[in-house]
Amino acid sequence: MKVLPVGDCVWEIPPSEKPGMRVPARIYASEALLGQMDKGVFEQVTNVACLPGIVRASLCMPDGHWGYGFPIGGVAAFRADTGVISPGGIGFDINCGMRLLRTTLTEDEVRPRLRELINALFAAVPSGVGAKGFVHLSETQFSEVMVEGSGWCVRHGFGWPEDLERTEGQGCLPGADPAHVSARAVSRGRDQLGTLGSGNHYLEIQVIRPGGIHDPAAARALGVDAPGQIFVMLHCGSRGFGHQIGTDYLRIFDQVMRNYGITVNDRELACAPFRSPEGQAYFGAMTAAANSAFVNRQVITHRVREVMGRVFGKDPRELGLSVVYDVCHNTAKLERYPVDGELLDLVVHRKGATRAFGPGAPDLPEAYREIGQPVIIGGSMETGSALLVGTARAMAETWGSTAHGAGRTMSRAQAKRRVWGETLLKEMEARGIIVRAASKSGVAEEAGFAYKDLAAVVDVLHRLDISRRVASLTPIGNIKG
């Protein structure tokens, strides 16, 4: 398969390389990162290019790796009037996302109590497969969560009003319809609010190291004040609720595609026309799961504030525990963009990719309007994470999208064959990183060597100007699923 360079860190696979491709496939990567991508990335990104209604190109970000249907790091926009919606382009963990909290604490203040803090957070925020939270809801109350999103949390004392403006879409995506959510999905999701889950999900205590502020003006606007400052980052989504919705609709779409004359190269790309009854039902259910994920992260934020207030003996507001931003990946959203001189409604799928709206975007908080939307990119628990901002270039080039993480370079099974979880925990503690985990094998799966070099991924985004680097965050404590 020909992969041709078409610009600095931009590669294209032309439509002539695979029968049925309607548009080129475009990969954003350095030559080194491109070389690390597995064969599945190229098969999947070109399969996406064959789907009905796709506009301009099938995209893959520099953290791209093999996924389900779309590659992880895949972005594609489809015309709302003639295009499709596909669960394989969103993922099972719908609105898996990142949230960053700032504090006024310094590492010197936190380090003596770090183990106490990590133990208390581990006790307060359940993690691991099947973990259940402390918020117990009736089916009617859970329907309210699906529709209201984070606003439900503020109304019930699990958040501060200002948290909403620091959340993508104010923590509530429009179009949620609980009527299209199965009873099985409700039973799986109703008791999981306020939990991390397993896999690569985490709650992390981080610090800004000397040299970790790359754009002082943007950093000040985001509440990043100085080296030594402590932050809290969390990564989780809709858990079993979103997974069941994805499973339900993949089965439905696989059955109805032929009714619409749609065939796909891979059954994992089962889809339906966005405007069809089935497409609209999935959009309503998927959005309900996205809103529940916002609630999940908001409830965890509430627990973090409770724990840190207790450990440090101060009101959470005194500790400056405010939300910097909460941003989704694993969504499909109805957005409007100019295409060939015409303003079109597009269904933008971001699978393991993050929204990165530039300066002036209407749903950004006033404090961020001039710098662009905060972008939170998680690395590995050994190496750290990055804070960036979206750009006008992203709006023009990638449907306002960017990478979401470092991206895996090996399977979880391969990682476990290379290191014991117990050994890794001891090695990390010797380096000053305290980890509590529901599963030691899960720790091995998330070893730093299993991921791409985050700095290399961020460098590509910055060079392409689809995200601009602001700060680097280094882990000192971690809660793992």
* Own/partner pairs, 272-277, CB within 8 angstroms, 24+ separation: 272/84, 272/85, 273/52, 273/53, 273/82, 273/83, 273/84, 273/85, 274/53, 274/78, 274/80, 274/83, 274/84, 274/85, 274/347, 275/80, 275/81
Give the DSSP per-residue string, 264-331: -SSGGG--EETTSHHHHHHHHHHHHHHHHHHHHHHHHHHHHHHHHHHHHTS-TTTTT--EEEEEEEEE
The CA–CA distances, whole Å, from 66 to 60, 89, 413 equal 11, 12, 15
Residue type at 409 in one-letter notation = T
CB 37 within 8 A of CB 27: yes
CA distance 378 to 97: 10
Report the C-alpha gap between 358 and 146 in whole angstroms. 28
- Dihedrals φ, ψ of 370, to 5°? -80, -25
Whether 156 is catalytic = no
The C-alpha atoms of residue 66 and residue 44 are separated, in whole angstroms, by 8
Alpha-carbon distances, residue 266 vs 26, 45, 208 (angstroms): 19, 11, 44
- If you write DSSP's letter for every residue of 368-398 in order, what string do you get? GTTT--EEEEB--TTT-EEEEEE-HHHHHHS
Provide the total of helices (H) and of strands (E) in the chain, helices listed first: 16, 17
User: How far is Cα 433 from Cα 475, in angstroms, rounded to an integer?
Assistant: 7
Query: Contact, 469 vs 427, CB < 8 A?
Result: no
Residues 475 and 231: their CA atoms lie apart, in Å, by 9
Nearest to 350 by CA among 72, 26, 62: 72
Strand partners, 336: 345
Distances in Å between the alpha carbon of 373 and those of 177, 288, 290, 299, 402?
28, 23, 19, 23, 11
Q: Which two tokens stand for residue 245?
A: 């919705």
Catalytic residue (one of 156, 349, 404, 462): 404
Active site residues: 404
